[in-house]
Structure 1
């Protein structure tokens, strides 16, 4: 009993000592420091937005066709008597070369006959003119005789009236005058026929001259001369072969220029058209002259390349016209481009000539125009990451005008001087602190791409 009482007395003392020890330990321990938790500062590449010279581009595709094609056909019937040795498919011949002749014997005979007919008609005219001159002289003499007869008749009539001459003498003189009058009238009537006879002969001469000209023209048409420097396409005849008028002889392709009807998607045409200084009045497009002037004023550059070729050669072209309609199947419009001197500067194995049928790409470039341009990689679902004045992230929606390759043209939402992030950013949290890195190389690369000078 005494043992239990003893334990009951010491137990509260032990508990009190333990509590006092714990309190002392807590009071003697240093206070816990609280640290503010936040995301680390992100290092990003940024680009200062500015208006830079920008060339709108679009690419169309089409086949090479010679600007000038001669489908030579025979204009006369005859046998082929001569063919130039180089008049073969793929051959090249200079302007003025006589490449083919048709047998001329029949046409020479016809020409000689026409010349003989002309000479005969001219001779007949000279003979008639000589006869006319003789008739005029005879008429003059007859008229003079008539005048003398009339004078004699008058003298005799005076004598008869004075009764110094017999009446029958007057009758004789009157008879003479009647004969002289008849002779004058006959000669005058004959002379009047010469005008119609000469007109008829002159008509024959004109007809004969036409026949001579026609025969000479036909004779000229038996010889085919190249009107321009040309490469030869298909040749359809051979020496000794008979050819009918209208028959195909050969095909000649001009080498001075080629044309490419580059098919360009209609939706790619709008950005190009947006570079025009003034939008044309649709009513003016009804006049073809105005449309052609608009195309000329458009002043697009055109760079032609061979598709699938290892060569990096470029030919400078010129937009000369638009096709007459839109292709409803492909929804494309034809942009016809001309390239001058496609055979100049040929380097075997490096720069081939632009031959008929080659498949080419045509890159159309507008003249430089200042636009607000950013790289496509800075765009995130029509939003960009903009650096605020406090160097924090601001997510801003924008409106695009159009995109081109690795660049996009901004219509609304950005202004010059804004800084946008061009590098990857994870996580994307608005207001996050940023450390900026501006690269001049990126800016120069964008400017080069905007002008179409990127590699």
Structure 2
């Protein structure tokens, strides 16, 4: 045991000496790592502000076939069936016209009777005038005879009794003349009364004619039958709704838009029309003035069908439940271009997505919406280091944000996700031309996502 200890101690001492005399390791500075990041270069491009909402398709015109007169339903068009198409001016139904034809005949008889009374009155007036002229001549003769008798009485050759008799004859003749004159004075009032009676009968005849015309109901426009409520030979009281026709000339959608989106969109539209300066104008008037285009989309499985339309007016109220504003979008010829199995017509009741487009805003700064976080954007500086930039967003649509302040043309905006994103970190910048192209397309109105 004692023989082993000296060699072990010598070995330990040798190792300690070697370790103490070994040189220290060389010190090297760590290399800085660059993080790969894709970017798009900021450039002024045209931007079309858009708003998207949803609504249900309804016909622009709807007509209820209301019976304006009562009667038995004599004829009902066999094509007047739910779902059938009806051309303008097509006879839909006919109510039995006999009662109204009889009313016309009665009115004609009454008019004829009044006309006969008028002729009789005018004839009597002519006869009265002739009699009046004779009686006036007789009165003149009686007056002359009275004056002659008075002259004779003054000379003593006539008696007072004779003069008195002549006075009586003159008074009697004056009464006859006065009676005939009074009769003639009544002729105008009697004539007016007969003319009023004739006018009343003519009005009754006109009403009877209108009622006869109302026995026939015709379609006021090209349409499609949506309801039929009666059958042939049925008695229908006045006011009965025989059926309903929806116009096929145009369809409308009451598109519901959030109030904030509507506010921002109207502001962008007003600024674009005002050359960049805000203008004060009614939103509805503004949209009617520029005839904003709209696109209706219907999702059918993996397909998307589209129709072109335009903004017609703004709804008169805010929806009390959803607090949204209604924009009425109209589509002309909703049955045009129908292809069985491929493209259906724009049916009533379809729930569609509607995109309304504003006026293009030239020289806009747009970036992907995902590049903006809490009002900040990551930018690659000239030295390829990461910087954060505070921006003010003027408008957003889907995945695009329009920047009002904070970015300048030529700057590089990071479009890839950096975790973590530390200001000052070195960036291996990669230009994303494909992303930039899609951004420009979406800003111009395409549906691609940048």
TM superposition score normalised by structure 1: 0.84
Residue 307 of structure 2 is aligned to residue 346 of structure 1:
no
Q: Is the 8 Å Cα contact of residues 311 and 351 (structure 1) preserved in structure 2?
A: no
Which residue of 278, 282, 295 corresponds with 1:303? 295
The 1-side partners of 2:284 and 2:53 are apart by 20
> For the structure 1 residues 44 and 291, does the alpha-carbon distance in structure 2 shift closer, same or farther, using more than 3 Å as the test?
closer
> For the structure 1 residues 102 and 413, does the alpha-carbon distance in structure 2 shift closer, same or farther, using more than 3 Å as the test?
same
Match of 1:233 in 2: 226
Q: By how many angstroms is 1:73 displaced? A: 1.6
The 1-side partners of 2:110 and 2:75 are apart by 31
Question: What whole-Å deviation, never above 9, does each CA across 1:69-124 have from its counterpart, x for those lacking one?
Answer: 11122122210001112111111111111111001111211221111111101111
Q: Is the 8 Å Cα contact of residues 393 and 401 (structure 2) preserved in structure 1?
A: yes
> For the structure 1 residues 258 and 383, does the alpha-carbon distance in structure 2 shift closer, same or farther, using more than 3 Å as the test?
same
Q: By how many angstroms is 1:32 displaced? A: 7.8
Q: CA RMSD in A?
A: 2.9
Q: Where in structure 1 are there 5+ consecutive unaligned residues? A: 1-14, 285-289
The 2-side partners of 1:226 and 1:246 are apart by 17
The 1-side partners of 2:183 and 2:371 are apart by 108
The 1-side partners of 2:200 and 2:172 are apart by 43
> For the structure 1 residues 22 and 203, does the alpha-carbon distance in structure 2 shift closer, same or farther, using more than 3 Å as the test?
closer
Question: What whole-Å deviation, never above 9, does each CA across 1:152-189 have from its counterpart, x for those lacking one?
Answer: 32233323323345555434433332332122122122
> For the structure 1 residues 261 and 307, does the alpha-carbon distance in structure 2 shift closer, same or farther, using more than 3 Å as the test?
farther
After the TM superposition, which of the residue ranges 246-255 and 268-277 deviates more from structure 2?
268-277
Question: What whole-Å deviation, never above 9, does each CA across 1:278-311 have from its counterpart, x for those lacking one?
Answer: 5566xx8xxxxx5642342465321112243665
Q: Is the 8 Å Cα contact of residues 58 and 252 (structure 2) preserved in structure 1?
A: yes
Match of 1:450 in 2: 443
Q: Is the 8 Å Cα contact of residues 294 and 311 (structure 2) preserved in structure 1?
A: yes
The 2-side partners of 1:120 and 1:447 are apart by 85
Which residue of 323, 326, 344 corresponds with 1:331? 323
Match of 2:7 in 1: none
The 2-side partners of 1:326 and 1:292 are apart by 14
Which residue of 26, 36, 48 corresponds with 2:41? 48
Which residue of 348, 351, 376 corresponds with 1:356? 348
> For the structure 1 residues 144 and 307, does the alpha-carbon distance in structure 2 shift closer, same or farther, using more than 3 Å as the test?
farther
Match of 1:83 in 2: 76
Match of 1:269 in 2: 262
Q: How does 1:54-453 map to 2 (within 5 A)?
A: 54-165=47-158, 167-277=160-270, 290=282, 292-297=284-289, 299-308=291-300, 312-370=304-362, 371-380=364-373, 382-425=375-418, 428-453=421-446
Partner SS state of residue 142, structure 1 = helix
> For the structure 1 residues 267 and 167, does the alpha-carbon distance in structure 2 shift closer, same or farther, using more than 3 Å as the test?
closer
Partner SS state of residue 86, structure 1 = coil
Q: By how many angstroms is 1:37 displaced? A: 2.2
Q: By how many angstroms is 1:362 displaced? A: 0.9
Q: Is the 8 Å Cα contact of residues 299 and 305 (structure 2) preserved in structure 1?
A: no
Q: Is the 8 Å Cα contact of residues 41 and 410 (structure 2) preserved in structure 1?
A: yes
Q: Is the 8 Å Cα contact of residues 367 and 402 (structure 2) preserved in structure 1?
A: yes
Question: What whole-Å deviation, never above 9, does each CA across 1:313-357 have from its counterpart, x for those lacking one?
Answer: 322222223333323332322222121221222222222211211
> For the structure 1 residues 334 and 308, does the alpha-carbon distance in structure 2 shift closer, same or farther, using more than 3 Å as the test?
farther
Q: Is the 8 Å Cα contact of residues 276 and 298 (structure 1) preserved in structure 2?
A: no
> For the structure 1 residues 78 and 426, does the alpha-carbon distance in structure 2 shift closer, same or farther, using more than 3 Å as the test?
closer
Question: What whole-Å deviation, never above 9, does each CA across 1:212-269 have from its counterpart, x for those lacking one?
Answer: 1111111111111111111111111111111111112010111111111112222322
How many residue pairs get aligned? The number is 426
Partner SS state of residue 88, structure 1 = coil
Match of 2:274 in 1: none
Q: Please identify the structure whose Cα radius of gyration is greater.
A: 1
